Amino acid sequence: MTGSGFSTRESDQITLAVPHGTASRRTLWGRDELLDKLLAVVRDEGYEEDNGRIHVVQGLGGVGKTSVAVSVAHRLQRETDQVWWIGAQDASRFNGGLTALARQLGVPDKEIAAGRLADQLWRRLSALDGPWLLVVDNADDARLLDGPGRLALGTGLVRPHRSPRGLVLVTSRDGQTQTWGAHAVLHRLTPLGDGHGADVLLGLAGPTAGSREEAAELARRLGGLPLALNTVGRYLAAVGQRPARFRDAGETATFAEFRASLADGGAFPHAGTAAALAGIWRMSLDLLTERGHRCVRPLLEVLANFADAPVPLILADPAVLGEDEAFAGVSGAEIWDALQVLAGLGLMDLAAASGVDTVTLHPLVRNAHGSPGKYALNVRLLNRAARSEEAGIPEDVERWPLWSALTPHAVHALAFEDGSDDERLFLDAWAAANRVARSLTAQGHLSQARKLLEELVLRLGVVVGEDHPLALASRHNLANVLHDQGHHDQARTIYEDILTTQHSTLGEHHPNILTARHELARVLHDQGHHDQARAIYEDILTTQRSTLGEHHPDTLTTRHELAVLLHNQGHHDQARAIYEDILTTQHSTLGEHHPDTLTTRHNLTRLLYHQGHHDLAAAETAAVLSARRRVLGPEHRNTLVTQALLDIINAARAEP
């Protein structure tokens, strides 16, 4: 045996030739920029800072890393015969390839036998004239590249060199920078976009399989993964070449048919596709498990059970996960490490959007690992997140990005729960979804909020009954949305029904009763029943002042609505005095840019306009508009209302 662990005689049987086959003949869609950069290193075309460094093409299994390496190698073979290919799937193949290359470059057998293979090999590679390429393919377990040294420190069996026109190109699923060290250049290979994905499908299946638009839709459903695209394209081509009478039941011949077969998370109709993808994920997870990451499989399953949307990391709460037997004894540090290595292998992406840390699974990875029958843990995670201090209250504008990220998962949890006879689990799903609906309402997404609340009300009526406190809470929230949408009669009916139900059990001064009466008064006001609404407001205020105090937020809200009513009745001086007093309190407790403060400021500027103070009203309305655009966004309904008010005021100022 040699010092490399591979006998000299056996190394003679190792080929260093570049693989041929379909990958070398296909057009490599969507990879031109990367190919140009890698080729430029060898051609000495302006990438001096990358010369001598290890270039690692990294990404999800099946994303086309080996295809990129094959394409680079075949192009360079037209320019030089110094192109070598070593497989790194296992130690035997890798060590044998290094030994074969060393002998080809003239390293004496005695140097190899003495354990100096790496030093001698890289000395000779560094001294080569002209362009050369060494590909180390499928180095998913980068520990094989260490040898007696350390890959990350530049002393491994693969290391940087001093040749000005040499390229060391490694393909691997491992994209962690600490694996490769500072002397490596990582090229993250991502799935193809819809356009290039359509090119792949059309190139293989041909136009008889459907239109470009249909191909793009299927490519999107396949997540742009080249392995899936190529497998599906070849399958459709094979089916399409047979007359219809010779096709078996269930076989699909068009892009639209194949996509339809995948609807709602269905399995691939072609067993070869499913088997190939399952093998990819299994190998990746086996590798991580072997490295001691014991929770990667259950964690991937949990994440895959959430909606097909970015998953906020708040939903991977170690405290909740630790309550499940699959995570028994697993620490928060281990869960974080598992997320990092799963991302490093390309099975997921870790990113931050609008200040929310999220993880996104490739759709095919999600399909392969989701277990819809095991949703209980996901519901517990969702409920805990929705009640957490980090999430805060749904109406808090600063927390809206997080609530927006939680929304698809709350809706998905209800779909998971459908048909379950576990009442406690449903109520946990309800709690999260109800808070999400409140956030949607506050953000102005009324149609989305209404749809969710109608579903909750319907389901609660079946599970706990229409008069259950939780059902009444969702009905109340639904009435709020209906009111804001202008459906006053429907909202009024719900509020009156809630009051009838709760009066006998809670009493007229209970906070829930006061809230329902307050909302009923708002509807009555908008319906033109001003005296009725005013009587309710004044009665509520009497109770709130005695129990909560003059400056409690609930008291201020009622006073504000009373001021709006007085304003609309023409009692401008009374209304202005209330607005200004409320603003004094809100400025000191909430701040001048809080949404509630801005609402009061908006209504005060409207009153100033009605009093004839057009210039003052215009200046203040412009300030409120600027603040609402910044705080709520330019498309929020409150922002648009302020814009409309400013337009009216400016039009009045322009009149002669």
What is the H or E stretch that residue 505 is in? helix 488-506
For residue 302, what pLDDT is reported? 92
pLDDT tens figures, 180-233: 989 999 999 888 899 999 999 998 888 888 999 999 999 988 888 888 888 788
Q: Is the pLDDT of residue 21 over 70?
A: no
Q: Which two tokens stand for residue 371?
A: 């277990």
Give the C-alpha separation, 62 to 509, whole Å.
64
Sequence letter at residue 286 = D
pLDDT tens figures, 405-438: 999 999 888 876 554 567 888 888 899 999 999 9
Measured in residues, the chain has a length of 656
Q: Which two tokens stand for residue 513?
A: 């009763």
Q: Is the pLDDT of residue 248 over 80?
A: no
Q: Decide: helix, strand or coil at residue 168.
A: strand
Q: What is the DSSP string of 10-58?
A: HHTT---PPP-SHHHHS--TT-HHHHHHHHHHHHTSS-GGGTTSEEEEE
pLDDT tens figures, 117-159: 889 999 999 998 889 999 999 888 888 898 888 998 989 899 9
Query: Are 385 and 317 within 8 A, CB to CB?
Result: yes
Q: Which part of the chain has CATH 3.40.50.300?
A: 8-188
Q: Is the pLDDT of residue 271 over 70?
A: no
Mean pLDDT of the chain: 84
Q: Which two tokens stand for residue 495?
A: 């509020």
For residue 6, what pLDDT is reported? 43
For residue 8, what pLDDT is reported? 45
Instruction: Report the b/e string of 538-576 with b at 16+ CB within 10 A.
Output: eebbebbeeebeebeebbbbbbbbbbbbbbbeeeeeebb
Give the C-alpha separation, 105 to 530, whole Å.
96
For residue 13, what pLDDT is reported? 55
For residue 488, what pLDDT is reported? 94
pLDDT tens figures, 558-574: 999 999 999 998 999 99
Q: Which two tokens stand for residue 206?
A: 């041909």
- Residues 34-62, mean pLDDT to the nearest whole number: 80
Q: Is the pLDDT of residue 268 over 60?
A: no
For residue 387, what pLDDT is reported? 93
* Domain 275-371 listed as CATH 1.10.10.410: no
Q: Which part of the chain has CATH 1.10.10.10?
A: 275-371
For residue 261, what pLDDT is reported? 75
Q: Decide: helix, strand or coil at residue 159.
A: coil
18 or 384: whose pLDDT is higher?
Answer: 384
For residue 5, what pLDDT is reported? 45
Q: Which of 601, 597, 609 is nearest to 645 (CA)?
A: 609
For residue 3, what pLDDT is reported? 41
* CA dist list (Å): 564 to 211, 572, 602, 603: 57, 10, 11, 7
Split at pLDDT 50, 70, 90, the class of 308 is: confident
The model's pTM is 0.66
Split at pLDDT 50, 70, 90, the class of 452 is: very high
Lowest-confidence region among 256-260, 357-361, 370-374, 592-596: 370-374
Counting residues of the chain whose pLDDT is more than 70, the rounded percentage is: 88
307 or 344: whose pLDDT is higher?
Answer: 307
Distance of CA 442 to the CA centre of its chain: 22
Lowest-confidence region among 347-351, 381-385, 502-506, 635-639: 502-506
For residue 286, what pLDDT is reported? 73
Q: Is the pLDDT of residue 616 over 80?
A: yes
Instruction: Report the b/e string of 468-491 with b at 16+ CB within 10 A.
Output: eebbbbbbbbbbbbbbbeebbeeb
- Residues 283-311, mean pLDDT to the nearest whole number: 82
**CATH superfamily entry for domain 570-656:** Tetratricopeptide repeat domain (1.25.40.10)
Q: Which part of the chain has CATH 1.25.40.10?
A: 570-656
Q: Is the pLDDT of residue 642 over 70?
A: yes
Encode 336-390 in three state secondary structure.
HHHHHHHHHCCCEEEEEECCEEEEEECHHHHHHHCCCCCCHHHHHHHHHHHCCCC
- Residues 322-339, mean pLDDT to the nearest whole number: 88
DSSP state, residue 396: -
Q: Is the pLDDT of residue 9 over 50?
A: no
For residue 50, what pLDDT is reported? 61
Max intra-chain CA distance, the chain: 105
Query: Are 146 and 114 within 8 A, CB to CB?
Result: no
Q: Give the number of other CB atoms < 10 A from CB of residue 346.
A: 25
**CATH superfamily entry for domain 8-188:** P-loop containing nucleotide triphosphate hydrolases (3.40.50.300)
For residue 346, what pLDDT is reported? 67
- Residues 88-97, mean pLDDT to the nearest whole number: 84
How do beta strands 356-361 and 311-312 pair?
antiparallel
- Residues 362-385, mean pLDDT to the nearest whole number: 81
Residue with tokens 């742009």: 224
